[in-house]
Chain A
């Protein structure tokens, strides 16, 4: 037989430890599968099961407790040809539970061998997530108050496509491991074994009694038909392949020359659903169309689609340094929520500041020049108020003008949306009121 065991580092476990059987079973499985050492990576974490990688002459990655599946996933995603084997004790299982669930659910082609010996061997026989309540372990009474989990049942409900449970002393172990590795998708094999160094000192356990435990538990012996589905790596590749277009940066040519343009600070105060961010984007695009530098900060609730939506824009012929608003030149007050968010600015506004206020919106006292507009009177829906307001400032030549706005719309939208937008804007732009 072709052995993959590391001759210069033979397995060293306590006498009678089941890990020794599993090391040998895994070795035979590799041979059975005709693998070359470089086809395999063993990924391990902490504990006695974490010694596996050193005992084999294959690629190896030994990492942090419970996280072996995360490295295994990265390796497999990056190199789908690798046979990725993870060994993990019941300790790693508990601490890395989220990764076990995710691996079952994702179905990336990795094989997880769980070495369940009912306790933490390396640190002194403390209880783990699989310790029976009546066991005597190194954690005084704590295990008597917690229930052990059945990782196979959990794996099944988490969507694992292949689950096997057997004794680590099973004669067919090497075949079972080989079958799990051959499975295309995530496979988990739970081996039950003896930690002779710790657990079996106070808890009678023999290969025979382990057989009985396995027999008494629900049976898992391979492919889980009801979870059957494509392997993640292949599915990912197929889906990703459809994404062929690399998103180019939005780059806007200077189209309009405005020789004496002065720095503008525009504040749009609205609410979620009023397309405030889009309006802010349009103001910025308008600035860039005129060859200006721009910067935009938005303030809105990220958790819920309600509440204020505020956009703050700087437009300047010079490079923009400090990106905050210092002295607004244009304020669009389109909702009470938005105004409340920036209520302190109103008292500071200069007289020359152009404030456009929707009729229904209340604003604090200000020395600025306030123009009121009743959008409802023009049958403009609330979600178009911000856009319509841009038409008004364009007409008044505050921060932007009509050619800038038109260019901005054309850079941002397709022809149809440009037309619709111009119609909305036109409702007020062409009226005598403004």
Chain B
């Protein structure tokens, strides 16, 4: 047997390469820089392009331009960079530009702590753009997840023509781990649906899907615009056209909600407590549950990997049998509000920590045992 040994950021870069990523633009920022470093090593030998923008806004702009020319693009940053990305993220959402954005989260607010982990940006990623159109956010728990979820992220970006976020964390991105890379089964690669036929309209689409794509620079002329547009890509003030597009942007993500729900679970018949968590925290939850089991207390857990769109059906179904639901997060309570919204009839307990250190299994056991 052989094990590969790498940090989460390298695994994420390898996932991008496996997904067919051929363009990266970024700007150095701890703790995401090593994604950039890895892409700079990996893309040139594959004939891909890897560049450093003059700032984060530019890096996103390069990705948008390259994506519109048909490339599969990745960029990577941390919270302060996501702040700068925001205007371009809105553009990519509203104008259906496929991109993958890795956010290796660090402790905020603002410049915060460059080398301290936290799941700082969980609501920011969802709502940090204008208009409130849904986005897809995937949360890895370890290096293996960074590898696999990045392939999913590219697949979703291509299918839905939208930015997809990977909400990593310093504690995953910069932690080196062994895992059996060779025995991983990656999801099949999804390619952008290309337009076939005549009379191409760049934003003409089925009511709950992304429009078929043609790259800027090919034989057929393509229009792209950040302004509110109709199917022809020209600015519009027609309320019906505007309304239909807004609805479609929402429906294309929400109608696929269940299909893009990724998670891990360990549901035990004889337990009355379900612990819901995500990211690196879910590893401590799993350890805590294993230790409590040896003490004769059965604990169930649900570890979410798709955070947005919120896997509502899954959460409802999994939580149904439990008296007690506990949410644990590496922040002071961001996702717990979603859980409470979905489970209004349940008392949802919460433990959060935002002090630059990981939540330990011991702490989680105390939370669970302190009924």
Are A63 and B58 touching (Cβ within 8 A)?
no
Inter-chain contact total with CB atoms closer than 8 Å: 227
Give every chain A residue within 8 A of B290 (Cβ-Cβ). Answer: 321
State how many angstroms separate the Cβ of A317 from the closest Cβ of chain B.
Answer: 12
Q: How far is the CA of A38 from the CA of B286 in the complex (A)?
A: 56
Q: How far is the CA of A67 from the CA of B85 in the complex (A)?
A: 12
Interface positions of B from 44 to 79, Cβ below 8 Å from A: 44-46, 49, 51, 53-55, 57-58, 60-71
**B283 an interface residue at 8 Å Cβ cutoff?**
yes
Nearest to B48 among chain A residues (CB) is A240
Q: How far is the CA of A324 from the CA of B363 in the complex (A)?
A: 13
Are A38 and B42 touching (Cβ within 8 A)?
no
Cβ-neighbour of B217 out of A62, A82, A320 (below 8 A): A82
Q: How far is the CA of A245 from the CA of B43 in the complex (A)?
A: 10
Are A74 and B61 touching (Cβ within 8 A)?
yes
Nearest to B219 among chain A residues (CB) is A38
Contact with B along A1-25 (1 / 0, CB 8 A): 0000000010000000000000000
Q: How far is the CA of A74 from the CA of B98 in the complex (A)?
A: 14
Known: A99-B54, A291-B1. A74 touches B66 (CB 8 A): yes
State how many angstroms separate the Cβ of A161 from the closest Cβ of chain B.
Answer: 18
Contact with B along A342-354 (1 / 0, CB 8 A): 0000000000000
State how many angstroms separate the Cβ of B87 from the closest Cβ of chain A.
Answer: 5
Are B3 and A293 touching (Cβ within 8 A)?
yes
Are A246 and B45 touching (Cβ within 8 A)?
yes
Give every chain A residue within 8 A of B177 (Cβ-Cβ). Answer: 293-296, 320, 323
**A214 an interface residue at 8 Å Cβ cutoff?**
no
Contact with B along A242-263 (1 / 0, CB 8 A): 0111110111111000000000
Known: A38-B218, A251-B181. A74 touches B175 (CB 8 A): no
Q: How far is the CA of A288 from the CA of B235 in the complex (A)?
A: 59
Are A61 and B216 touching (Cβ within 8 A)?
yes
Give every chain B residue within 8 A of A81 (Cβ-Cβ). Answer: 217
**B189 an interface residue at 8 Å Cβ cutoff?**
no
Nearest to B357 among chain A residues (CB) is A324
Interface positions of B from 23 to 38, Cβ below 8 Å from A: 23, 25, 30, 38
Nearest to B362 among chain A residues (CB) is A326
Give every chain B residue within 8 A of A293 (Cβ-Cβ). Answer: 3, 177-179
Give every chain B residue within 8 A of A98 (Cβ-Cβ). Answer: 54-55, 58
Interface positions of A from 41 to 79, Cβ below 8 Å from B: 41, 43, 53-54, 57-64, 67, 69-79
State how many angstroms separate the Cβ of A84 from the closest Cβ of chain B.
Answer: 9
**A430 an interface residue at 8 Å Cβ cutoff?**
no
Q: How far is the CA of A228 from the CA of B367 in the complex (A)?
A: 67
Give every chain B residue within 8 A of A281 (Cβ-Cβ). Answer: 176
Q: How far is the CA of A254 from the CA of B178 in the complex (A)?
A: 12
Interface size on B, residues (CB 8 A): 78
Nearest to A75 among chain B residues (CB) is B65
Cβ-neighbour of B115 out of A302, A321, A322 (below 8 A): A302
**B41 an interface residue at 8 Å Cβ cutoff?**
yes
Nearest to A281 among chain B residues (CB) is B176
Cβ-neighbour of A322 out of B45, B225, B283 (below 8 A): B283
Nearest to B71 among chain A residues (CB) is A78
Known: A297-B175, A324-B360. A63 touches B218 (CB 8 A): no
Give every chain A residue within 8 A of B14 (Cβ-Cβ). Answer: 249
**B222 an interface residue at 8 Å Cβ cutoff?**
yes
Cβ-neighbour of B178 out of A37, A284, A326 (below 8 A): A284
**A146 an interface residue at 8 Å Cβ cutoff?**
no
Are B1 and A253 touching (Cβ within 8 A)?
yes
Nearest to B233 among chain A residues (CB) is A60
State how many angstroms separate the Cβ of A76 from the closest Cβ of chain B.
Answer: 8
Q: How far is the CA of A298 from the CA of B49 in the complex (A)?
A: 30
Give every chain B residue within 8 A of A236 (Cβ-Cβ). Answer: 49, 51
Q: Could you pull out 7 A-B pairs where Cβ atoms are within 8 angstroms?
A: A59-B223, A78-B69, A98-B55, A246-B45, A298-B174, A321-B286, A321-B290
Q: A58-B221, A321-B287 are in contact. List 10 more A-B contacts (CB 8 A).
A: A37-B221, A61-B216, A62-B224, A64-B88, A71-B68, A76-B65, A77-B23, A78-B65, A253-B1, A285-B5
A contact residues vs B (CB 8 Å cutoff):
9, 37-38, 41, 43, 53-54, 57-64, 67, 69-79, 81-82, 98-99, 101-102, 236, 240-241, 243-247, 249-254, 281, 284-285, 287-288, 291-299, 302, 320-324, 326
